[in-house]
A and B are shown apart, each in its own frame.
Chain A
Amino acid sequence: MIHNGAEAETIDPQVLTGQPDGRVASALFEGLTRFDPRTGRGVPGLAHSWDISPDGLRYTFHLRTNAAFSTGEPIHAEDFVWSWRRAVDPVTAADYSGFFFYVKGGQAIATGATNRLETLGIRAVDPATFEVTLVNPTPFFPDLCAMRIMAVIPRATVERLGDQWVRADPLPCSGPYQLESWRPNDRIRLRANPHYWDAASVGCERVDLLSGDSPTAALNLYLTGDVDFLIDKVVIPSELGDVLVRRPDFHSYAYLATYFFRFNVTRKPFDDPRVRRAIGLVVDRRRIVERITRMGEQPASALTPPGTGGYVPPAGLGHAALLATNAADYAVAMRAAALEAQRLLAEAGYPGGSGFPPFTYMFNAGGGGGARQHENIGVEMQASLREHLGLQMELRPVEWKTYLSDMSQLNFDMIRGSWVGDYQDPTTFLDCFLADSGNNRTGWRSTRYDGLLSAAAAEPDSAKRFALLREAETLLVREEAPIVTLYSYVGLFAFDPERWEGIHPNLTGEHPVWAIRRRVAGGARSAVASATAP
């Protein structure tokens, strides 16, 4: 039995957005590739192999001959063509259809520029061969193919039931599991799919995914053995984080997500990069992770977390201090950064903070321990800004939907932000701050930044591509600083390693359910591992 966090909003792999939803959908539906439980990267799924053309633009996928839905119907290349066309069609209203922008013609369809779905650069060469033409060489394309939105879904069922096709009974599933039952706010029960191509590797015959909002309740259930896995950090009480991470059954790992804050660069005085840089220099990142978050987070000065697909992020504001190996060196470096910040602020016309208008820092509050941390981080920043720069920052906690709506409408001075990467490449972070990205929400537009990103997209050479991306990120986190990053997140999961195996730390936090199995003495694999029945 797995505690899956919040109740799934939908399990339609094409329209879902939440992580709990994604874990269910990944168990039920598969695409050309699937996530490797160790690395979180895309490895062969319903396609057993693929060829890439020399220019890196054409992928030819070879489907498995035993690929089939749980109801027995075989899966052909035509099913992929139909599924992908539905996903990219704006009428489907798939939030994540941006993944198809990499495919030729995808952007034009997803943005509504054309409604001719057949212009998407995909084709079924024969029932077992599926060909994709890309806009640019996209080295992480096999990772994208493992995303839920790229999975194959049952055409006949969707055409019969429309939006509510996932409520079909039986629901034809292309993944390792099929849906047995779904009680909202209680649990989703999965049963192994006997027609899955890799049914032999599926560790548990039956799995219950519990949903609930209270981390304390989840922890209680785990401690009494009612739940075998806490699979997501959100179901682990953050107040106890520093105590729990020291237990042998709690595993903390680097996660592809960054905590930062945005400036509204359309408002004075934050339209001045010197002001933004001054603020970015004085925040005490180490203190925040050591005193407030306390689960092993790494302080960060760049947006892309370290280790993302081999990319080395640039040194952002305040980076010098983060290199310090002891507290004394850190204090010295922080003092130097503060002097530099005071100089920048004076240059901008606010020596010692005089004449600087009062401003607010907005963050989401309420709804559990995570949100309480936002407040503590705000208080910490407030103190730093007052002490080093003489600035008066007022804290403004708002409820989640108000936070989102004010952020989108640029109705703030400074606002908390965070971003979870989708795939292991820096563009999953850097694309957010393109001038026309809906996720930008700073008012910052830079033609140079946009130019560097599009040059990187067209660059086939990996080292040159990363150099271009690094140059763009330097602009973002050091020179222009429309955002200031604080730390990279950690992921956290809990299970008894004596009894279970198959969950591994990886950057994207992908823990496929099929890989979970009961440990048997002597290492033998157990085919019927579910002692999870209530």
Chain B
Amino acid sequence: MYFLRRLLFLLPLTLLIITLAFFLVRVAPGGPFDRERRPASPAVERALAARYHLDESLVSQYLRFLGLRWERQPDGSWKRAPGGLITGDLGLSLKYRNHSVSDIIRQGLPISLTLGGTAFLFALGFGIPMGFYTAVRRGGAGDWMGSLLALVFICVPGFVIGPVLILLLALKAGWFPVGLWGTASHVVLPMTALGLYFGGRVARLTREGVGQALQSEFVRTAHAKGLSPAGVLLRHALPLGVMPVVSYSGPMLADLLTGSFVVENIFQIPGIGVFMVNSSLSRDYTMVVGLVLLYALMLLVLNLAVDLAYSLLDPRVRHD
């Protein structure tokens, strides 16, 4: 019931988000066709606006975007304007005018998904063991070293790590390509640059979570029952300790899967992260709305998945 309610709620929430995006991006000064050079004549300017319906009122543009605008035909009858969200059509990109928004997403998303997915696994793969280790060795030299390292990963941004990785491992050592996409070796450096930050966060969350679990009573009970220390740690403390990581995974995955502007830019990767930022700078209205829709859907769905995972992992959490 709970999840059904959440699922039903998802639709109006998404609609609200893209409606906001639709109007906000149009509030910003300038338009998609403003350039340093003005068109040959005002007639050309008007024709360009008319071609993409930017000359209509905001309300009618919005209805057209939804696919709920009826137009009077030359013969006097009324007909729904073609396209629109209800038909799954996000329209043409206003900047890349030979591509539809869906085209660009279809082409770039798999790349961003691959990069984000591997970075996610990478972050979990080193973050959880690192956090677990530092929690167990709390106060010791290992904790100190590990926690410091995690902090460094969090503090040093991707636009520093990326170029450093390129300089050392690609330009100097020649082990990996400096950029572009296509083979497995293209994935390694951007995955690392993208995943280190999240791995650092995961390590810290795991450290806190496991640390708290170690203090809790059921762990003390388990010890008292005479379970082996390793068994206590792995069977009882770890599952509870990673709960904060699970709840962080939703937004983290949404962030990673929708592409990273910085990392895709540094490695010249043809994902959608670059479009995420550039579309709003270039006032590519249709693209902004399309990408916001994608991001919103991913975030909402993943958060739902996290809640579902929660109730499976932690017997204390119940949704009725």
Provide the residues of chain B in CB contact with A71, threshold 8 Å.
none
Provided the pairs A217-B178, A226-B177, A401-B29 are in contact, do residues A110 and B41 lie with their beta carbons within 8 angstroms? Answer: yes
Question: Is A93 part of the binding interface, using a Cβ–Cβ cutoff of 8 Å?
Answer: yes
Stretch at the interface among A181-189, A449-457, A481-489: A181-189
Provide the residues of chain A in CB contact with B38, threshold 8 Å.
95, 408, 437-439
Say whether A110 contacts B43, CB under 8 Å. Answer: yes
Q: Which one, A93, A167, A221, A534, contacts B98 given CB within 8 A? A: A167
Q: Which one, B43, B178, B283, contacts A221 given CB within 8 A? A: B178
Most chain-A Cβ atoms within 10 A of its Cβ — which of B31, B43, B181, B278? B43
The range of chain B's interface size is 35 or more
Q: Would you list which residues of chain A between 11 and 31 have a CB under 8 Å from chain B?
A: 11-12, 15, 17
Q: Would you list which residues of chain B between 254 and 293 have a CB under 8 Å from chain A?
A: 265-268, 270-271, 274-275, 278, 281-283
Provide the residues of chain A in CB contact with B281, threshold 8 Å.
367, 399-401
Stretch at the interface among A96-104, A137-145, A198-206, A503-511: A96-104
Q: Would you list which residues of chain B between 92 and 127 have a CB under 8 Å from chain A?
A: 95-99, 103-104, 107-108
Say whether B39 contacts A91, CB under 8 Å. Answer: no
**Per-residue contact bits, chain A 86-98, to B (CB 8 Å; 1 contact, 0 not):** 0000111111111
29 A/B residue pairs, CB under 8 Å, sorted by A = A8-B96, A10-B96, A90-B46, A93-B39, A93-B48, A94-B40, A95-B38, A95-B44, A95-B48, A97-B44, A110-B40, A112-B41, A164-B98, A185-B274, A186-B107, A210-B268, A212-B268, A213-B274, A220-B166, A221-B178, A224-B174, A226-B180, A401-B29, A401-B30, A401-B31, A401-B34, A402-B28, A408-B34, A438-B39
Say whether B39 contacts A95, CB under 8 Å. Answer: yes
Number of interface residues of A (CB under 8 A): 57
Question: Is A446 part of the binding interface, using a Cβ–Cβ cutoff of 8 Å?
Answer: no
Say whether A401 contacts B44, CB under 8 Å. Answer: no
Q: Which residues in A have some Cβ–Cβ distance to B below 8 Å?
A: 7-12, 15, 17, 90-98, 100-101, 110-112, 163-164, 166-167, 182-186, 210, 212-214, 216-218, 220-221, 223-224, 226, 367, 399-402, 404-406, 408, 418, 437-439, 534
Question: Is B51 part of the binding interface, using a Cβ–Cβ cutoff of 8 Å?
Answer: yes
Provide the residues of chain A in CB contact with B95, threshold 8 Å.
9
CB distance from A188 to the nearest CB of B (A): 11
Say whether A92 contacts B47, CB under 8 Å. Answer: yes
Say whether A110 contacts B107, CB under 8 Å. Answer: no
CB distance from A221 to the nearest CB of B (A): 6
CB distance from A216 to the nearest CB of B (A): 7
Q: Which one, B31, B40, B104, B267, contacts A98 given CB within 8 A? A: B40
Say whether B170 contacts A224, CB under 8 Å. Answer: yes
CB distance from B285 to the nearest CB of A (A): 12
**Per-residue contact bits, chain B 16-57, to A (CB 8 Å; 1 contact, 0 not):** 000000000000111100111111111110111001000000
Provided the pairs A9-B96, A186-B270, A402-B29 are in contact, do residues A217 and B265 lie with their beta carbons within 8 angstroms? Answer: yes
CB distance from A250 to the nearest CB of B (A): 18
Question: Is B179 part of the binding interface, using a Cβ–Cβ cutoff of 8 Å?
Answer: yes
Provided the pairs A166-B98, A167-B98, A400-B281 are in contact, do residues A184 and B108 lie with their beta carbons within 8 angstroms? Answer: yes
Q: Would you list which residues of chain B between 222 and 266 have a CB under 8 Å from chain A?
A: 265-266
Question: Is B182 part of the binding interface, using a Cβ–Cβ cutoff of 8 Å?
Answer: yes
